[in-house]
Amino acid sequence: MHSVNLLVIDSSPESAEHVNSLLRNSGIKIHVIHTQTGKDVKRALDHESPVLIIYADAEETDASLEEISALASAFNVPLALFTNLENPEKLAERLANTACFVINSKREDLLTDAVNKLVRNSENERQQEGQQRHLEELEHRYNLLLNSSRDAIAYVHEGLHVYANRAYLESLRVEEESELAGLSLLEMLEAEDTDFKGLFKGLSKGIFPTQAVDVNVKRPDGSVFEAGLLFSPARYDGEDCTQMMMQRRDAANELAAELEHMRVTDPLTQLHNRKAFTDALDECIASSPSDHANSVFYIEPDGFEELLNELHADSIDAFMIDLANVIRGCISEGDFPARINDRGFAVLARRSTAAELEAAAQEILSAYRGHVIEIADRAFSATCSIGMSDVGRLDQNSADVIMHARTAQTEAAESGNRLVVYRPQLTAVESLDGEQEWVERIKFALGNQDVYTVQQSIVDLDGEGDQLMENIVHLRGEDGDHSSAEFQAIAERSELGGTIDRHYIPGLLKTFVDSDERQVISLSSNSILDYGFPGWFATQMKAACVEGNKVILQIAASDAHTNLRPAQRLMKELSPLGCQLAICHFDAERRTRQLLDHLEVSYLKLDTSLTQDLTANTKNQEAIRKIVQAAEPFDVAVIAEEVADTSSLAVLWQCGVKLISGAFLKESSQVLAQ
């Protein structure tokens, strides 16, 4: 039996000594504390927890019975008045104002019995407290094991959830247990051969199925999976209930789906990763419908290098997560956002028009500019820059589109907080309005017969061979006429290049009948990709009575490179008619020279950048010699166009170029096929 405390209140220590001796002689191990005043009692109660307070009925005392009674009540300790009962009137008066026990001081056995019972009660309470702590520790450990278990377990009562562990919540794809409140199992479970109402009635009566019940479980988000349910009796918070263990039938499929999710997801931002983005972009390029506009936004925060110096690694991660959340909040449901490198994000966006795409990118700029970033104890703002690249039929792979968007973003980042739209074969422009004006101008010209061609001679400096004539497309306009060099790229991106070809070629072919020259006709990339163009062109030649050996079809080197298979198919169908192939904008790059290995080329035309200031540019002279040497084994003639002066002729002659066109000929233009 443990030693306990007892508090005796008296003006002298005699009563405390007497009580201590009496209890010790009775075999009760107790610590008797003597106090005189109310302050002493308060101090003792603050530090000790006595089983009893004894108020000695002395003639003179420094603490009133009422004061001690209030303290005993406040600390929940029983109070006993120790008196000889000789003055009943005075005792009644005291008991009228206080609540306490009365122990006859003449009957010492009463005191020992009362204290003995209180001590035993104290021991019992102490044991119960220990058992309660042990029980709470066991419950805590059990809850930890239950919540960390890989088995999905829930406690249910009358068809409702009263508890669910983490594995169960994850199986149902919910975050908190509160989301299951009010969700009946009758709404979740489906099975053809199971009466769930009867099953739950049996569970309430202690009747449990001996084998797993096969069911289809419907999640709150509407998805369904197969599972087997095992039921057993249990108690929760002191109430009888049923433990339900849910065994997934498609656990392997779920694991495979999770692994697939990890494979295509950026672990930091939970956006798609670069692999998933490039796959989606390649699919978009291969199957992009013409009734939608698609673009790639490439996004980087401005001043990222300075941020790396200012923020810790964890803060940089928080910064990137913040930017990802802003992007996620601005895009539409069908957009495809991704983190594709340490500092850059990309979005594959689809809208009805190009203007809507530009507006979507501007929305991201505006949202991030007005957003306050909170990291640890810091709050600041930042901006980003966006490069935008259109996705169309002429794009061959995702790498090129992403590269174009990054090129535009680099230009945008020079001033920051800016959107720049990339335009292939042109400089990057900041608005789609200018291009749209060209599209409208082209459509107007086609509808008003304002498309015509101009012939330009290609002269052989040796004076040998057939004379060549190149036919250049022009558009009439109120502010002057425009050659194809100004609008061809825009027309092709807008799917108008093939329309222009089919518009002017029939009339142009008719002008070839009475001429002896061989005619060069430039084709757009749209016509190269058009499976029906070769058959249409052959029909037009037959209708115009033009022999195929008079026609040289000309395509750009960049188009031949990105559309190699379609170009091969085009010439495979038209070569039997006698048509030959010329490649323009030919430079000294290795991949350009490799076109000679894959296409049957009769002529190649030097890129005009190689013939500018030729007499003073030895580097360009060496590049031209390299091209001529590459062309000789294939018996390909080299043409130099836009030669402005005779001083360049000697250099071109020395480099091996014999076919020339340009202003130095001083010939008048001949308009055909109006």
Helix (H, G, I), strand (E, B) or coil at 339: strand
- C-alpha dist (Å) from residue 631 to 45, 372, 520, 584, 590: 109, 61, 19, 13, 13
pLDDT score at 552:
95
Read off the pTM. Answer: 0.44
Instruction: Give me the residues paired with residue 229 across strands.
Output: 213, 246
Using CA atoms, how far apart are residues 564 and 340, in angstroms rounded to an integer? 29
**Both ends of the chain: CA-CA distance in Å?**
121
Amino acid at 278: T
Task: Delineate the domains of the chain, giving CATH numbers in brackets.
Answer: 4-125 (3.40.50.2300), 149-254 (3.30.450.20), 264-431 (3.30.70.270), 435-672 (3.20.20.450)
Residue for token pair 């009365």: 102
Confidence of residue 426 (pLDDT cuts 50, 70, 90): very low
| Comparison of pLDDT for 292 and 507, the residue scoring more | 507
What percent of the chain is modeled with pLDDT above 70?
A: 92
- Mean pLDDT for the stretch of residues 53-81: 78
Confidence of residue 427 (pLDDT cuts 50, 70, 90): very low
pLDDT score at 339:
94
Instruction: Indicate the range of 91-95, 334-338, 639-643 predicted with least confidence.
Output: 91-95
Amino acid at 594: Q
pLDDT of 432 > 60? The answer is no
Q: What is the pLDDT of residues 15-24, one digit of tens each?
A: 888 888 888 8
| 212 in Cβ contact with 228 (< 8 Å) | yes
Q: What is the pLDDT of residues 619-647, one digit of tens each?
A: 889 999 999 999 999 999 999 988 877 77
**656 phi-psi bin (left φ>0, alpha ψ -120 to 50, beta other):** left
Long-range contacts of 409-417 (CB under 8 A, 24+ apart): 409/298, 409/299, 409/300, 409/344, 409/385, 411/387, 412/385, 412/386, 412/387, 413/300, 413/302, 413/385, 416/302, 416/303, 416/383, 416/385, 417/302, 417/365, 417/369, 417/383, 417/384, 417/385
Residue for token pair 């425009």: 482
Nearest to 318 by CA among 270, 374, 278, 275: 374
Confidence of residue 109 (pLDDT cuts 50, 70, 90): confident
Q: What is the pLDDT of residues 337-378, one digit of tens each?
A: 999 998 899 999 999 888 899 999 999 999 999 888 888 778
Query: How high does pLDDT run on average in the chain?
Result: 84
pLDDT of 63 > 90? The answer is no
pLDDT score at 428:
46
Q: How many CB atoms lie within 10 A of CB 243?
A: 18
What's the number of CA atoms in the CB half-sphere (13 Å) around residue 532? 5
Helix (H, G, I), strand (E, B) or coil at 447: helix
Q: How many CB atoms lie within 10 A of CB 89?
A: 7
Using CA atoms, how far apart are residues 528 and 549, in angstroms rounded to an integer? 20
Task: Look at the alpha carbons of 628, 631, 633, 636 in this order and tell me if their dihedral is positive or negative.
Answer: negative
pLDDT score at 585:
92
